[in-house]
């Protein structure tokens, strides 16, 4: 199972929005409604910010939103804050396995 494809980097100024894409295949992203997104700060464990494509765990601000169209899922961070600067990973259920994305470093300019 190949990793899902994400852009290596994305950036935006405080208050702006940034969108990160996650390209998969018909066997993972397109096949199931289990796409999640994780935020990871340096030296820390990942944190779940979106699950089941669009849902946010309790405590995650509504500035974070997820969507999916066909083989591609997306994460949008609105109203960027300095603390949003981190690595972001998507993941998808693929039937017998889980596949992660390649990761995107989001920089707040």
- Of residues 38 through 77, those in contact with another protein by CB under 8 A are 38, 45-48, 51-52, 57
> Shortest approach of another protein to residue 95 CB, angstroms?
10
Residue 24 contacts another protein per CB under 8 A: no
DSSP assignments along 15-48, one per residue: T--EEEEEE--TTTTTT-S-EEEEEE-TTS--EE
Which region, judged by CB under 8 A, interacts with another protein, from 9-17, 64-72, 73-81, 87-95? 87-95
Number of residues that bind another protein (CB under 8 A): 24
Phi/psi of residue 53, nearest 5 degrees? 70, -50
């Amino acid at each position: 199972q190949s990793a899902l494809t994400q852009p290596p980097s994305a950036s935006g100024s405080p208050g702006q929005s940034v969108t990160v894409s996650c390209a998969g295949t018909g066997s993972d992203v397109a096949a199931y409604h289990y796409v999640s997104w994780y935020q990871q700060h340096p030296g820390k464990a990942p944190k779940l910010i979106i699950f089941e494509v669009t849902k946010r765990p309790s405590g995650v601000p509504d500035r974070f939103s997820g969507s999916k169209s066909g083989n591609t899922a997306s994460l949008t961070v609105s109203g960027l804050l300095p603390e949003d600067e981190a690595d972001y990973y998507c993941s998808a259920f693929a039937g017998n396995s889980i596949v992660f994305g390649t990761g995107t470093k989001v920089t707040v300019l």
